[in-house]
Structures are given as structure tokens and as C-alpha cells.
Structure 1
């Protein structure tokens, strides 16, 4: 009795320990994966934001430096005054992110009256710093005089040819403008994005839980975790803690903005990222409790009914082993097949294929295959392998009761001449992840068209097809004319719009079996399959050029136009892909040098003899 009781207690404790340990390890790994995914998302957002803000600061710095250089080159005060007046107007139009661009003379007086009075900035720290510095200086967050809103000031000292201090030019970037930009970013339902100075004073912050709040602006209200991370001296980092301003726990990533005393911070709410994980914890805990309860109840029943006999003790051990097998096979489908009919299938098999328990018993195994051909092919290959070495394994697509197609890892073992045991594991999510990863690796992340890697693969396939069918193909290399001016004048968002519209128009202008790819920057490539020499390829690309030249709307009511320089190389199936791309690139640059906005084509007759016909 005591020995049986001890064995049952030990078995229950062992099953409970293994089950709890396995579930805990699984939940821990799942939580770490969710945290890692959130950390990566926050870090990517912080890095992107720091690059964007750094680009804006660099643009402002270039504008202020331009004004400073032109003032220092002037010969008289009257000429300097004219330069300042002109540059304030011109540069102010270019700096859309700047609310005010102003000039203060050497005494600190600002030429424009604000709220009916002349402003004096001589006592401000940025005026004092700029007066003694040869570079742009940043202020801590301050309240602008005219708008009464928080902003940061970027100032550059102006000097005469003799090096005398002439005054300073300064730009005000309001917190509201930064908050508006932050609001467009994807941060989830309770995320937050902030910009702080190196002294950790808050410049701007947008939170989904409290949008447009001005709480904490100009103040250093931060968590100890952020201070600890910054103390390490790393340019980037992340941490998990409740945010000091609203006490919402977030996974926060920060990135210092290179070259400027600013830090971008992005926080994603842990509740949002861990919501599914917490629901899984509840389900797993409930399942563990149910299994442990069933196991304990069954063990108690076994103890009461088998206490007096050795046979009872042996049967108790057997039941414990059966329980263990039942737990081990809960996720792996198993079925016994006799003459290609399912003699028995466990619950995991029914769950994987969408059947009720016992519903598969007695059915032909053909119900699980996509077609008669698949059923016959696997039968011939599988049973031949079972007869030879007793085992067979393959990954294939099968179907659920609903007709849904899933990927299955199928392996079998021979039991007898007429019977075999088959095990099935659902690997559909793994296969889908592999396909998604492959799709991302072969497409351009901005425009969605093919990238350089996919273009190279399609070009090799087109050359093979050209060899078999004895026809010509064309590789077209395109560079957008005027794109840099649009990007510099209207910002990266406008530039991205131009690139996306160009890709869309190119894809619509070519045939279905042609390939349009973005090679990088503002360079595109088009692969034309089966063309009628340079004339046919030129005709297609002329149609593309006409589409590109049409106006593009970059903002409501705001249109821009671009042009393109195109080089075309027509080759046969024995052409080398590297030669086609290189010659197309050379033809495009020849167009650039000859006046842009044109098409130039060349037909490579024989790569081996290197003879060409230019048209």
C-alpha cells in the first residue's frame, strides 16, 4: 500500500513538474519573443525617427551656414543687410519645418516687432553661445515670443570679413510641428514618441493615450531606467519601465541624433504587445489545472480500486505510462492505416485536419490529400520505402475537412505487411513564414516592385527562355531627372510619393510578362521579354517616358513633374546578364551627358565577338 501510494504521489508530482516546467518554458520563450519583437519595432521606429530629424536639422544647419557664408563675403553693411533680408525670405520658404527664421543684430535686437514691441534676445543663452561659436548652436526648449508655444532655437553667428560679430540668424522649430509629425507614425493604441535634448529636457511628445498634451515640455521628467541606459554611453538602447509622465509601462527605445544634441525616444505599450501572451497564459494555466486535476482524480481512483493486489499496482504503472503517452502525443497527429484506410486516428490528427474525434476512423486516406495524383504518388513512393527500409518521410500540402490547404510533415513506419503507422506535424505556419521572408527579400520595401535581386533572377530566366525560343530581350536602365530637386525642396515624403507613383506607372505601362524593378535611389530597370529589336524596345520605353512625365500630386493641390534618362540594350539568349546591365547603365549615362530626358538604345549582336549596332 505504502509503496503504491508513494509511486502514485511521485508520478503525479513528476507529471505536474514536467508539465509546469514545459508550459513555463514555452510561455517564457513566447514572452521573450513578443518583447523582442516589440523592442525591434521600437528600435526601428527610433532609428528611423532619429535619421529623419537629423536630416531636418542638417537642412536647417546648411541654410544657416549659407547665410553666414554670404554675409561674411559682403564688403559693406548695406550689402550685408540686403543679403540677410533676401536670404531670410528665400531660406524661410525652403525650411517648411521652421516656424520662424529671424535675424538679430550684434546688440541682440530683432528687426521684427512681436506683440507690438521690439524683441531683445541678447540675454538668451543661444545668442551668447552663437556670438562666440563658429557653428550652429542649440537652445534648450523655450517659449516663443510671438506664438507663446514651446520651441527649440537653432542659431548661427554672423561675422564680417574682418571677423567682427555682426549678429545672428536663428530658426525656431515649434514643438507642435514635431508633435504633428509624430502623430502620423504607427505607435499602437498607447504608444508614445518624444524628442529630448541631451540634457533630457522635453522638446516635443505625442502619446496616443493623451494626444496633444503639453505636459512636461521644457522639463526633465524621466525614469531612472533611461538615466541608467544613457550612463552607459551607448548611442542607442532600450528598456522597459512605466513612463514617468503618464505611468504607462512601455518598451522604450532611444537613439541619439548623430551630430546634434537631441535624443529620439519611441515607446510601445507592453499591454498591447503582451495581450495575446497573457491570454495564452490563462489558457495554458487552465489546461494545466485540468490535466493535473484529471490526473490526480484518476490516480486517487486507481489507488482505491487497486490497493490490495500486485496486479493493481502494475496496472497503475501502466495507466501512468498511458497518461504520459497521451500528453506526449497531444500535439503530434498519429494514425494507423490498413490498406490505405484509416483504422485509428488520435485527437491531434482530428484537430489538425478539422474532424471530430473518431470521425476519421474507417475513412479512406484519400480524404486528406489534395488530389488523386498526390494520393497515388505518395502511396507509391511511401509504401515502396516502407517495404525497403521500413520508414518514409516527406513534407507536402494536404487538406482539412473544410478544404483548406495546409503543410504537413508526414512520416510513416511499417507495422506489418498490411498496416502502417503515420505521424503528422502541422508546419503550415513555418512554411508561411518562410514564404513571407522570401517575398520580403525579393521586393523593394518602398514601392513594392521587384528589387535588384529579383531583377537579376528574372533576367537569367528571360535569357534562358530567349535561348530556347530564339528571340530578343531588352534591358532598360532609367534614372529620374529632377528628382533630387523635388526631394530637397519638398522633403523625403514627397520624394517617396514620386518614387511610388513612378513605379506604379512603369508597371502599368509594360506587359504582364515584363519586369519593373527599383535598383536603388531614383534608378529603375525594366526587363522587356521578346522584343522586335531596338525599335520595339524604344517604342515601349517611349510610352513609359510619357507616363513618367505626367504631373504627380505630392500633396493636396501640389503637383510636380519629373523626366527620365533611359538607356536600352537589346540582346539575344547568349548575352551575359552582367554585360546587358553594364551597357544599359553606360547608355543611360550617355543620355545624361547629352542633355537628359531622352532614350538611347543599342543592340548587342554577338557578345563573344563584341560587335554592336547603335541606334
Structure 2
């Protein structure tokens, strides 16, 4: 009998031993898996950082190459003999260097090695025949090749690397070079932007193995040759790959490292040799958290084993005492089950129990409240029969995960309501003992709000067309593709003729109907790959991608004029008609950057208006600079506090535009942006308080417009730092002044009717000069 009682205890110790082994195996597997995961994750992060840096550097190389080619094209035969031509060239080189932070200097050198002109005056007249950026093109002159010189230490101290194009004389003979020296400090800032860890480093290496830039700065490695047998650099070059992640001892640091290397040699630039980007980390730093976790796991494992031994001994000792309380616990369990059943019935959330195939077994009454089904209607049916067809496969995958023992949280799928409509349901579920236990809630309203916010972020609220943020993104992509495919891009800047008369005669509702109708007509007359955007008021911008001839843009513009011409039926039963003035700029004929092209199209559009409206004008070589944003009497809302704040906002916007046009300090521009954002938020808070105090009936729409305008401030920050100061004038002007005309005037009239203090008619701001347009 005693032996029989001892058997369960012996079995439990055997089971405990097996569990200890299993847990040990799990700990070992987990740590091995974590080690592999850390390795894979780090390789991916390094590869991503190297790829991003390579792409950015390629973009810089494209820009520098295009600049050098442009400078070379401007050197006409006999230019050296004319002092005015040399002076103009020198000033132009200075301007180009100022515009390109990554370039330290640009020079023009004759075949004898004499620097005939340069962006830096102290270099002019120096004779440097031994420079590789002269010797290599001289030995192998090729007009289409962009020569990349090995890094060298300049006479002023810093290490430099030159990008060079060969010059040809009237008879095709070698006539010197035009060369740009890369600025290692600017490149160090660029490389440092991808360092995601304190121990991470980024290197820029010439194809011959000479290290040019190292970030973080380390003076003992710049100029060192990495092209030794067995080094990571040599292994990468010998692999013939464009990108790879290698492990080994870093030649530069002498540390065990994981390094991602990426070849930078765009085929379009015809570079005579590659550049290499390397991003690396110390392996000891990479795996340091893993070692800490391993020791922690061993400690936990030891504590588990010791605790298990002590616990099992205590449990066996107390088991006899526990048997006496079984009946009492069973009674308590029945009481708990009753409480849970009550909670299941009264819970407002959707609760359900199903089998592992997704068949409903038990549902609470909340299903009838939210989805119209009595709980008994769905019991015995598969949930998949009610899931939207497009969400069915994802739902099957989640059920499979539950069967595998995983927990599902925040899974959203559409479920058919009894009325036939689909509702978005968010599920949380786990599988236990052959059943799936699920809790859910209806999140349809939240999903619709998210879609609405996303639409507002990138589309015009009235017409549904692309807004400025989406326009800039699409235009940037179009220009990039055009450079790569050697095609043209056309920008059509459109301003409606006669639109103000429609607003004045028929009201703003009729004006909104006209804008939506014109938007639909524009969309019907362009390709799906083109972009139609509304930039504000009655202004539209259309981007035509991948054109082969300039006259294609003219044909589209004429087609758009024909689309605008037909009468537009208004809700009042009458009709109206508007026209359109269209300005067209072409990439690369009228400019190679987004701001130049937009302003050229804008200027051409104003020429179309001056020439009689309702016609198309192609851009010329220049466009007018924008002035300052000003308020006039049209923008007075009649409430003193609001008008004063409007004047303050206009002052901040003009200060910001002045800083942008003069290429002011970026930190100062950032402070102006913060000041503008703060003043805008304060102004909107003032209007919100007034609307609440006086019960403004259109408060919800007005507040929504405020939220949209605050979000636009961040968009402006990104665009103005890209150099788009001219076109940003139009954007900021529309952002502020159109909101005043569209929303604040109506609010001001309402507040005056409620007895608010009005702006005195004799104040200075009434006499401000009228603004453009």
C-alpha cells in the first residue's frame, strides 16, 4: 500500500526531470534563435543603411555631373581670350558651389595643369600638372566619361576627391578639364545621418581602396588603403557583387566587425571607376545584449530548477491537506462559473466561443445589439460565411494561428450585418482546450475616420484631386523617372477665367460646383498616369509624365481648353461658363528642378492672361520673383482681436519667405517655423473659444479646417528646405489668405451680429495695398 502511494511521487519526479530538460532545450533554442535573429536583423539594418546612403550619394553624383556638363557646355571657343567671359565663368562657378553643399570647389584647368578659373580665387593661376584628375583624362580623353580621381591631400590640408569631365578644343583635341572637388565635411554629415547606433560607422572609399571619409571623424584612417589581400574591401570587390554584407576584421579599425558594402557606379554617369559605401558595427557591441540575455537565461533556468525542486516537495507535502478542501473548492468553482455566465450575458462587447474550425458554439446577447442577429441564429454556423469575401483568406490564416496556439489581437475584418451591410469588427481571440474564445467590438466608425483623415492629408477636400503635398511627391517622382528614361515632363499651370464672376453672381455653392465639374473634366482628358492637383482657389496644376515631344503638351492643353468651354448647369437651373489660362513648362527645357518648372509655368499662365485669357502659353527662360504677402480690405473680418492676429501671422510668413529667398541659416528658419506654428495654434484657439462662447453653427467644419492647416505647416517645412522658395510663396499665400476668405469672413460677420467688438474702419490695415491675383 505504501509502495502504491509512493508511485505517483516517483512519477512526478521523473516528469519534473523531463520538464527540466525540455525547458533547458527551449532556453537553448531560444538563445540560438535570438543570436541568429540579431545577426539577420543587424545585416538587414546595415544593408538598408548602405543602400539608402548609396541612393543619396548617386543623386548627388547625378547633380554634380549635370552641373559640370552644364559648365562645360557654356565654355565657348575662344572664351579664355575674353576677360569678361572668364569673369562671368568665375562668378557662375561660385554660385554653383554655394548651391551645392557637397561640393568644396569647381575649377577649369588647361592642358598644362594651370587653373584658369575657379570658384575659389586663391586657386586661380596655380599650376598642378601632377593632379590625377588632369593626368587620367589627358591620357584617355573621353567626353562622355565622368572621371573619379583617387583621394589626395590638398595643399590646404583636407583630403579631396574630384569628379572631372574632359574639355575638347575646336578640332576635338584635349583642351583641359572642368572638375569639382567633393567636400569631405559635407559628405561626413550625409554619412552620419544613417548611423543608428553609437558604435556604428560609415565610410566612403574610392574604388582603388583609398579611404576618403570616415564618420564619426577619425583622423588616423583617412587616406589609408583598404585594398590589401583578405580585407573586407578586397573580398567585396572580388565577389563582383553590387552590394554585400561581410564579417571579419576591419582594416581601418582592427576590430571584429559586420560591414555592409555597396558599389556606387550609376551606368548613366559612365564613371571610370566605382565608389564604395561601407556601413559597419563592432561585432562585440552587436552581440553584447545577447550575452546579457544568455546569462540572464541561465540564472532564470537555475532559479526555475531550484524553485521546481522546492515547489514539488512542498506540493507533495500539502497534497493530503488539499484533498480535504476539494469539495469546498468545487462549490466555489460552481459559484464562479455562475458569475462568469452572468458577466458573459451582460458584457457590452461581442463575446463568443467557437470550435477550432471557426464554427460558433455560444454567443452573448451583444451580437443582436451590434449586428442584428439573435445569439441562437449564429450558433452552429461558420463565421467564415459572414466574413467579407476579401477578408476571408486573412481570417482563415488567423484561425490557423489560433489552432497553433497563438493569440490574436487587433485583427480587423468586415462582418455582414443582418441588414446585409458590412461592419468593421476588431477581434481578440485565443484557443484553449479545443475551443476558440473571442472578444470583439464594432470599429466601423474608427475605420471611416481613419480613411477620412488619410484622404484629407493627400487630397483636396472639395474636388478630391491631389493636394499640394501629393502633387510635390508625384512631381518629384516624375522628374526622377524622366531623368532616368531621358523623357520629358510637362507642367500645366491653370487658372480659371471668369470664376470670380461666378462666385459673385451665383454664390460660393455655385463656385464649388464649378470647381468640382472642372476637376472631373480635367480627369477625363488626361491619362491615368498623369496627376491633376488643385493648389488653391481656382488654380490647378497638371503633371504630364513621359512625353517625347513638346507639342504633346500643347495638344493636351488645347484638349483641356475644349473641356472647360461647355456650359455648366447650376443647382438654380441656370448655367454659367468659365475659361482657362494655361501656362506650360517643360523638363528639361525650362528647368531641371521642381521649383523652377512650377514658377516658369506660373509665369507663363500670367502671360496667357495678359494676352487675352482662355489660351495656352509656353514658358520662356525666366519668371518673376514673388513679392510679399499682404492683406487688404477684403481680408478684414471685422473683429479686432482676429484681425490683429491675422496681421501677426502675415508678418511671420513674410519673415520666413525673406529668410528662404536669402538662403538664411536653417536653424533660424526652423525657429521661424516653430514661431509660425505656435502663433497659428494660438490664433485657432482664439477662434475656437469665440465659436464656443457664441454658439457658432459652423464650428465643426471651421475646426476641421484648422486641423488641416496646422498639418500643412509641417508640409511647408519639408518643401521650403528643398529650395522651393518661389513656389512656396504661392502655397503660403493660399494657405493663409484663402482660409481667411473661405472661413474667417463668415465667422467675423456672425460674431459682429452677436455684438463682438468690430475693427475700426480707420485702422491702417484697411489701406493696405492689394495683393497679387
TM class by smaller structure: 0.5 to 0.7
Q: Is the 8 A contact 2:53 2:194 kept in 1?
A: no
Is 1:138 aligned with 2:148? yes
Q: Is the 8 A contact 1:221 1:244 kept in 2?
A: yes
What is the deviation of 1:192?
0.5
Q: Is the 8 A contact 2:204 2:212 kept in 1?
A: yes
Which secondary structure does the structure 2 equivalent of 1:341 belong to? helix
In the alignment, what sits opposite 1:282?
Answer: 295
Structure 2: distance between partners of 1:423 and 1:336: 26
Could you tell me the TM-score, scaled by structure 2's length? 0.45
Q: Is the 8 A contact 1:550 1:561 kept in 2?
A: no
Structure 2: distance between partners of 1:106 and 1:274: 55
What is the deviation of 1:122?
1.4
In the alignment, what sits opposite 1:103?
Answer: 108
Q: Is the 8 A contact 2:209 2:233 kept in 1?
A: no
In the alignment, what sits opposite 1:18?
Answer: 22
Tell me which protein shows more strand as a share of its residues.
1
Aligned CA distance change for structure 1 residues 339 and 449 (closer, same or farther; 3 Å): farther
In the alignment, what sits opposite 1:62?
Answer: 66
Structure 2: distance between partners of 1:246 and 1:336: 71
Which secondary structure does the structure 2 equivalent of 1:140 belong to? coil
What is the deviation of 1:50?
1.0
Which secondary structure does the structure 2 equivalent of 1:120 belong to? coil
What is the deviation of 1:33?
2.6
Is 1:485 aligned with 2:595? yes
Structure 2: distance between partners of 1:340 and 1:395: 29
Structure 2: distance between partners of 1:457 and 1:10: 71
Structure 2: distance between partners of 1:336 and 1:269: 62
Which secondary structure does the structure 2 equivalent of 1:240 belong to? strand
Per-residue CA deviation, residues 331-377 of structure 1 (Å, 9 max, x unaligned), is xxxx999457279xxxxxxxxxxxxxxxxxxxx559999x9534795
Could you tell me the TM-score, scaled by structure 1's length? 0.54
Q: Is the 8 A contact 1:98 1:173 kept in 2?
A: yes
Aligned CA distance change for structure 1 residues 279 and 43 (closer, same or farther; 3 Å): same
In the alignment, what sits opposite 1:381?
Answer: 363
Aligned CA distance change for structure 1 residues 412 and 172 (closer, same or farther; 3 Å): closer
Q: Is the 8 A contact 1:151 1:174 kept in 2?
A: yes
Aligned CA distance change for structure 1 residues 155 and 424 (closer, same or farther; 3 Å): same
What is the deviation of 1:56?
1.4
Aligned CA distance change for structure 1 residues 55 and 24 (closer, same or farther; 3 Å): same
Is 1:173 aligned with 2:182? yes
In the alignment, what sits opposite 1:591?
Answer: none
Aligned CA distance change for structure 1 residues 545 and 174 (closer, same or farther; 3 Å): closer
Aligned CA distance change for structure 1 residues 13 and 205 (closer, same or farther; 3 Å): same
Structure 1: distance between partners of 2:729 and 2:343: 56
Aligned CA distance change for structure 1 residues 368 and 110 (closer, same or farther; 3 Å): farther
In the alignment, what sits opposite 1:243?
Answer: 250
In the alignment, what sits opposite 1:216?
Answer: 221
CA RMSD of aligned residues (A): 6.4
Which secondary structure does the structure 1 equivalent of 2:109 belong to? strand
Structure 2: distance between partners of 1:98 and 1:367: 75
In the alignment, what sits opposite 1:78?
Answer: 81
What is the deviation of 1:263?
1.1
Paired residue total: 445
Equivalent of residue 429 in structure 2, options 402, 409, 413: 409
In terms of mean alpha carbon deviation, does 95-104 or 371-380 score higher?
Answer: 371-380
Structure 2: distance between partners of 1:226 and 1:410: 51
Which secondary structure does the structure 2 equivalent of 1:190 belong to? coil
Structure 1: distance between partners of 2:718 and 2:349: 56
Which secondary structure does the structure 2 equivalent of 1:278 belong to? helix
In the alignment, what sits opposite 2:211?
Answer: 202
Structure 2: distance between partners of 1:368 and 1:273: 49
What is the deviation of 1:108?
0.7
Show structure 2 runs of 5+ residues with no match.
320-329, 354-361, 366-374, 384-401, 411-425, 441-448, 467-511, 520-532, 542-584, 586-590, 599-660, 685-699, 735-770
What is the deviation of 1:191?
1.0
Aligned CA distance change for structure 1 residues 455 and 234 (closer, same or farther; 3 Å): farther
Is 1:292 aligned with 2:305? yes
Structure 2: distance between partners of 1:246 and 1:236: 21
Per-residue CA deviation, residues 285-343 of structure 1 (Å, 9 max, x unaligned), is 222223334556789x79xx99xxxxxxxx9xxxxxxxxxxxxxxxxxxx999457279
Higher relative contact order (CA 8 A, sep 6+): 1
Q: Is the 8 A contact 1:553 1:559 kept in 2?
A: no
What is the deviation of 1:165?
2.2
Aligned CA distance change for structure 1 residues 407 and 25 (closer, same or farther; 3 Å): farther
What is the deviation of 1:52?
1.3
Is 1:253 aligned with 2:263? no
In the alignment, what sits opposite 2:167?
Answer: 158
Aligned CA distance change for structure 1 residues 90 and 142 (closer, same or farther; 3 Å): same
Q: Is the 8 A contact 1:549 1:563 kept in 2?
A: no
Write the mapping of 1:576-595 to structure 2, written as runs, cut at 5 A. none
In the alignment, what sits opposite 1:430?
Answer: none
Q: Is the 8 A contact 2:133 2:179 kept in 1?
A: no
Q: Is the 8 A contact 1:551 1:561 kept in 2?
A: no
Structure 1: distance between partners of 2:77 and 2:28: 74
In the alignment, what sits opposite 2:199?
Answer: 190
In the alignment, what sits opposite 1:94?
Answer: 99
Which secondary structure does the structure 1 equivalent of 2:259 belong to? strand
Q: Is the 8 A contact 1:442 1:451 kept in 2?
A: no
Per-residue CA deviation, residues 271-294 of structure 1 (Å, 9 max, x unaligned), is 555454433322222222233345
What is the deviation of 1:81?
4.4
Structure 1: distance between partners of 2:236 and 2:462: 43
What is the deviation of 1:140?
0.8
What is the deviation of 1:48?
1.4
Structure 1: distance between partners of 2:31 and 2:288: 13
In the alignment, what sits opposite 1:47?
Answer: 51
Q: Is the 8 A contact 2:595 2:727 kept in 1?
A: no
Q: Is the 8 A contact 1:68 1:159 kept in 2?
A: no
What is the deviation of 1:486?
7.0
Equivalent of residue 336 in structure 2, options 335, 341, 351: 341
Write the mapping of 1:310-329 to structure 2, written as runs, cut at 5 A. none
What is the deviation of 1:174?
3.0
What is the deviation of 1:127?
0.7
Per-residue CA deviation, residues 116-164 of structure 1 (Å, 9 max, x unaligned), is 995322122221112223222111110112x211110122221222112
Per-residue CA deviation, residues 42-66 of structure 1 (Å, 9 max, x unaligned), is 2222111111111112211112112
Structure 1: distance between partners of 2:343 and 2:293: 30
Q: Is the 8 A contact 1:65 1:156 kept in 2?
A: yes
